[in-house]
Structure 1
Amino acid sequence: MVARFLLIVTLFVSTIAQNQQGTTVTPVRYALILNELAKVTSGRAALQAKVAQYKENYDLLVRKSASAKAACRCTGDSTVAFTAHLDKDITVLGVDQPVPFDNVTLNEGNAYDARHAQFRAPFNGTYQFFASLTNNAGYTLAASFMLNGSPVIKIRTANDNQFHTATNGLLLHMRKGDDLWVQHAHSISDSNRLYHGEGLLTTFSGYIVSKD
């Protein structure tokens, strides 16, 4: 296109020079200039049309990407998951006391608070939790998964001459700000003891399954 434009300029300058010198410019030369000018104009219009089409396609992709992102319910940058362990043996666990899972090995999203042994939902959505409690031989313990202060499900170890581990889990819907923890069961006779087993036997974990 640049070469064609330079050709038109050359022809135009030559034509002006011939006019100034009194030389007759043939219709053929004028026709050639007009033809080349038309080609350049047409090429520019085609290029502008392509640019406009590319911009329209780009805007469409941006809108589709924004729509897909808004509709996505995957965790993505909203990952929530935690695992915590008992850091030491518990010899006296108070009535209604939260089990102090204070050795946190994973806390994506920082939703688990080790100070209060409590998980707080950062989003409305479906969550899953698991807890394992272990007792020394000859002892037993009862506990409950608590949602905002109300028991949801219970967990209880056995009582004989061997170590015992009891595990339970649940899947539930939580709203943003809801709290869930594992608590020593109220008014159940047990040994008030927990065995941490080098931090690998008494554990509490959970994660978000899907956001609303």
Structure 2
Amino acid sequence: MSPIGRFVLLLCACCVYSQDFMEPSVNVLSEIAKIRSLEERMKNTEEALQRQSNVVTELTSTLRDVMNENAVLKTTLHTLQENMETLKTANEGSKVAFSASLLASGSGHEGPYRDVPSPLIYKKVVTNYGNGYDSNTGIFTAPVGGVYYFRFYAHCHADTRMAVSLYKNGNIQCSVFSWKPITNGNAGNGIILTLEKGDQMFTKLWQNSWVYDDPASYTSFGGFLLFPL
């Protein structure tokens, strides 16, 4: 090829390369738009992830609060159960009442004595909740401290002297008395007392006096707890 032909061919090739460079096959504006769209989607994704993270944090906090409340409720329930058991025990302990009459069967009298040997022993036990009364000694021993009510009755025949006193730990609290009635004599008395656990209550004849009883239970002794202390 002649030098002039080679020059013309080279000039054509340069024109082609120049055209390719000035008009590239890649659309730059379109690619920039795609990048911006991708950035926007990434931003939206990050915001969505942040919202989800916030929700998870709130749920975690709520779950923690629920667990704490559950622990408090368990503690409260346990305390209530303990209180119920305590109240149940206290309620059972507050059921104190007894009633007894002098003779277990038949009829007869007790006394008179120059020196009164011991408390009157009421052998016919009708009620003895709390097992405070001892029918072997005639003594009631308070199983719990509290305010109690006690009452006692005595009966005698004509022309006899009847006198009985109620004692707390050996100290007279109240009495009944009948001096040789024309027919039969009856008397009763009652009192409200504060007792400590272990305090003892009983009745005793006076010297040279006596009481009578039969299946009608004329002569009796009883009491009950009004409320514990």
Fold match by TM threshold 0.5? yes
**What is the count of residue pairs matched by the alignment?**
182
Residue equivalent to 1:78? 93
The more displaced of 157-166 and 108-117 is 157-166
Letter in 2 for 1:183: K
| 1:117, distance to aligned residue in structure 2 (A) | 0.8
Summarize deviations over 1:76-119 as a string: whole Å, max 9, x none. Answer: 23222211122243334253242221111221211111110111
Among 52, 59, 81, the residue aligned to 1:43:
59
> What is the match of residue 222 of structure 2?
205
Q: CA RMSD for the aligned pairs?
A: 3.4
Amino acid at match of 2:54: A
Unaligned runs of 5+ in 1: 1-23
Instruction: Indicate yes or no: 2:48 matched with 1:32.
Output: yes
Contact 2:167/2:202, CA 8 A, preserved across alignment: yes
Three-state SS of the structure 1 residue aligned to 2:109 is coil
Q: For 1:136 and 1:195, locate their aligned partners in 2 and report how far apart those are by CA, in whole Å.
A: 10
Post-superposition CA distance 1:113-166 (Å, at most 9, x none): 111011112233332210011223443411111222232222123533433321
The CA distance in 1 between the partners of 2:215 and 2:179, in whole Å, is 17
Alpha-carbon contact 2:211-2:219 (below 8 Å) kept: no
Q: Which residue of 2 aligns with 1:91?
A: 109
Counterpart position of 1:143: 164
Alignment partner of 1:108 is 2:129:
yes
Q: For residues 193 and 83 of structure 1, do their structure 2 counterparts lie closer, same or farther at Cα, with a shift above 3 Å needed? A: closer
Counterpart check, 1:194 vs 2:215 = no
State the AA in 1 paired with 2:93: S
Q: Is the 8 A contact 1:131 1:202 kept in 2?
A: yes
State which structure, 1 or 2, has the greater radius of gyration over its C-alpha atoms: 2
Q: Which has the higher helix share?
A: 2
Matched, 1:156 2:165: no
Quick one: distance in 2 between partners of 1:90 and 1:120?
A: 27
CA pair 206-92 structure 1, distance change in 2 beyond 3 A = closer
The C-alpha deviation readout for 1:175-211, integer Å capped at 9, x for no partner, is 322211011113xx33x24123433x22211122333
Question: How high is the TM-score relative to the length of structure 1?
Answer: 0.68
